[in-house]
Amino acid sequence: MGINRRHWGALASVLLLATGCTSGSDAPPEPTAPPTGSAAVARVCADPEAGPAQPPAGAVTVDPAVVGDLAAKTKDSPPHTTFWLQPGTHTLAADRYAQVVPKEGDSYLGAPGAVLDGRKTNEYAFSGAAADVTIRYLTVQGFVAPQNEGVVNHDSADGWVIEHATIQDNSGAGLMAGARQRVRANCLRGNGQYGINAYKAGAPLSDLVVEGNEITANDTDQWEKRQPGCGCTGGVKFWAVNRADVRGNWVHDNRGPGLWADTDNNDFRIEDNLLEANDGAALIYETSYNAVIRGNTIRRNDWVEGRNAADRGDDFPYATVYLSESGGEPRIPARTDKIEIDRNVLEDNWSGITLWENADRFCNSPANTSSGDCTLLVKDTARCAQPTIASAPLNADCRWKTQRVDIHDNRFTLDPSVVGCTVKCGRMAVLANYGTYPDWSPYKGEQVAEAITGKQQNRWHDNAYRGPWSFVAHDPSRTLDFGQWQGRPYQQDAGSTFQPRAGG
C-alpha cells in the first residue's frame, strides 16, 4: 500500500516542500453549510433519515434488552433474513471478538433510535465473507477496530449496501469496502482513522459507489502525529480500486485529506462533491490512473497542513488537489484515458493544483513507498531492474507517470486575508525532483522534471483566476507570474483569465 507523502530525492529524504506563507492560528476554519437547496450535497449528520417504526413483514425482531441478541439471531436464522432492531441501545457480548456475522443476503434495519454500541470493548460490528448484505437506518458506534481495520464490513465482503446509517466514534475505519459496494446517504463521523477504508486484501475491489454521504471529523486518533509519514489518515482512503463513483458527498473537517486514492486505483469519477475545511488536501490522487474530477466545490482546505509546512520553512507547493505520479493511460481500460479536472470551483484553499512526479519513485525502487506494488502495466516487479529497465518498454512502463492531465474551465479564487497568509499561499505547480536514487536508476538527473513539464501532455487552459496566484514549473526554484506561465517554454493556461485581486 502506498504511503507517499511528497518524496524528494533519496530514500528517507522526505522533504514536504510547502509554501512560504506566514502563519496564523492552527485552528481549522469553521465549516460552511452546503449550498441551500443543493440536491448534490447531503447534510446527513444533522438530519438523518429515520428507519421503519414497525418491523417489515417477515422480519426478525431484535431486542436491545438482551445482550448479544443480534449476533445470536443472525447465527440462528437462514440466509436472506431481514432483522429489525428495536429502538434502544443494542450490545454484543463483552468480548473483544464478539461480532455479528451475517449470512448472504441478510438485511439489518434500525428502528428510530436503534443503536449498536461496541462500548469500547468489541472490535468489529459486522464481519465475515457473506455477500450482498444490507445495513440501513442504524447507528453503529463505540467499536475499537485496530489501525487500518474497519468496524462495518470488516472483511471487505462484496455487494454490501450501507444506507442512511450513522457510523461514528469508532477506532480504525468506520467501514471497509468490497466489490460492488454501495455507500449512500450515511453520516460517517468522528472515527479514529478513516470514515471509509476502501481496501480488500488479496482480491480486486471494483465497482464502488460512494454517494450522498457526510464524511466529517475523521482521524480523531491523529495517526500522522503518532506515525509521521504513515499516509494513513483522512475522510476516505481508496486502495487499488478499479472503477469508483464518488459523487454528491459533503467531505469536511477531517484531520488530514478529505479523499485519498492511493496506489493503482483506476477509472474514478469524482463529481459534484463539496470538499471543505479538511486539514490536508481536499483530494490526493496518487500512483493511480484515469479519472474525471468534475463539478466539485472545493474550499478552505489544507489550512492546517499548509500552514504547518510553511512554519517549517518548506518550499513545496502544497495543493488542495494533489496528483502524485498519477495520469491518464490509454492502455488501461476506463471511462476516460486522461485525468480530467474541469468545471470545479476552488475557493480560498491554501493552494491550487499540484502535478508532481518523484523521479526516484518507480516499480522496484527502494524509494517506492508502495512497497511490493508495481504499475498496472507490469505484473512482475522483478522485471523493473537493470539492464531491462533501461530500455523500452520497461523504461516507460515501470513508472507511474503524471501525464495526460487536462485542467480546464475551473474557477480559482484566493483571498489571502481569508486564508491568513501574505505571500505565496496560492500556487499552481507542475514539477519533479532531480533524480538521484537508487544508484542503478535509469531516471537520474532532470529527465523526469523535463518530461512532466513539457512532454507528458499536462495542460491547463480556459480557467479563471482571481487573487495573487503564482505558478511553479519544472522544480521548486522556478516560480512564475501569469505571463511567464503562459509564455514559452511552458505555454500553460491558454484562454484563461487572470485578475490579481480576489474581489476585483
Give the tens place of pLDDT for each residue, 214-243. Answer: 999 999 998 888 988 888 899 999 999 999
Cα 487 to Cα 462: distance, rounded to the nearest angstrom? 15
**Looking at residue 203, what is its pLDDT?**
76
Share in percent of the chain as helix, strand, coil (round to 5): 10, 30, 60
**Looking at residue 425, what is its pLDDT?**
87
Q: What is the pLDDT of residues 93-106, one digit of tens each?
A: 999 999 999 999 99
Instruction: Decide if pLDDT at 11 tops 60.
Output: no
CB distance 386 to 320 below 8 Å: no
CB distance 197 to 148 below 8 Å: yes
**Looking at residue 22, what is its pLDDT?**
35
Q: How many CB atoms lie within 10 A of CB 209?
A: 18
Instruction: Decide if pLDDT at 14 tops 90.
Output: no
Block residue for cell numbers 466545490: 297
CB distance 150 to 197 below 8 Å: yes
CB distance 84 to 52 below 8 Å: yes
Cα 12 to Cα 226: distance, rounded to the nearest angstrom? 18
414 in helix, strand or coil? coil
Instruction: Decide if pLDDT at 445 tops 80.
Output: yes
Instruction: Decide if pLDDT at 12 tops 70.
Output: no
Q: What is the pLDDT of residues 29-77, one digit of tens each?
A: 444 444 433 345 678 999 999 999 999 999 999 999 999 999 999 999 9
Query: What band does 502 get if pLDDT is binned at 50, 70 and 90?
Result: low
Least confident of 177-191, 305-319, 390-404, 440-454: 305-319
As a whole number, the mean pLDDT across the chain is 91
DSSP letter at 394 equals H
**Looking at residue 27, what is its pLDDT?**
41
Q: Please compute the mean of the pLDDT values over residues 198-207 and round it to a whole number.
A: 90
Q: Please compute the mean of the pLDDT values over residues 161-185 and round it to a whole number.
A: 98
Non-local CB neighbours of 447 within 8 Å, separated by 6+ positions: 359, 435
Cα 249 to Cα 247: distance, rounded to the nearest angstrom? 6
Non-local CB neighbours of 379 within 8 Å, separated by 6+ positions: none
Non-local CB neighbours of 443 within 8 Å, separated by 6+ positions: 359, 360, 362, 399, 435
Cα 396 to Cα 456: distance, rounded to the nearest angstrom? 12
Instruction: Decide if pLDDT at 2 tops 60.
Output: no
> Which amino acid belongs to residue 184?
R
